[in-house]
Amino acid sequence: MTEVTIQANDGGSFNAYLAAPAGGKGAAIIVIQEIFGVNANLRTICDKYAAQGYFAIAPDLFWRQEPGVSITDQTEEEWQKAFALYQGFNETKGVEDLEATLEFIRAHPGVSGKVGSVGFCLGGKLAFLMATRTDADANVSYYGVGIEGSLGEASAIVHPLLMHIAEKDGFVPPEAQAKIRETLASNALVEIHTYEGQDHAFTRIGGKHYDERAATIAHGRTAEFFAKHLA
């Protein structure tokens, strides 16, 4: 487990947390942050994917505002900082940084060439945009916020996309969820699961809405999805 430096496509550079599989060979997964930066939870997710045989890389997407953000959801002060970073985040530049990460990890020694992405919250939206704007091989979105505003890009999805939606998500109202399902229903590459009774971030360990049963089901579906499409 190490820190690597990635060159941004428009100049400058940013860091990323990289966890490698014990065997030194395999497909790769880009793990896309929530609004809390590349924190302990995100690094743990990377480590778990590495234990499953993947290279897992989590780029610092807030570097243009403040490099090295790593906060939790446990205090009001941290929430306020997280929302401020979210408000100041340039989504277009963020996707460009993810594309640079994709290029970096595809060329990394030991990586098979297959690369997927998985994102949570803000990262869930960005995982959707990875499906519409990049050639990542498979993408997974957990309770992405604001996806309904980018559905005009849906026709660009040419690689498998798995979406986990929380039925009671306070940041994604029912009408937004309905629009997502309706727009993507005809695309055979898109698989959508809605988790009844669950609120936003139901897989975030230690979070207010964490639900072990729903998280286990969602992660199981993700594991099967990546095993199928990144083999």
Catalytic residue of the set 169, 199, 211, 229: 169
* Amino acid letter, residue 53: G
- 157/188 Cα distance (integer angstroms): 10
Angle at CA of residue 215, ends 205 and 184, nearest 5°: 125
- Asked about 200 being catalytic, the answer comes back as yes
- 41/70 Cα distance (integer angstroms): 9
The residues facing 162 across adjacent strands are 140, 191
- Asked about 137 being catalytic, the answer comes back as no
The dihedral through the CA atoms of 115, 222, 57, 32 has a sign that is positive
Using the CB atoms, write b or e for 161-172: b if 16+ within 10 Å.
bbbbbbeebeeb
Catalytic residue of the set 60, 199, 200, 211: 200
**Could you list the active site residues?**
169, 200
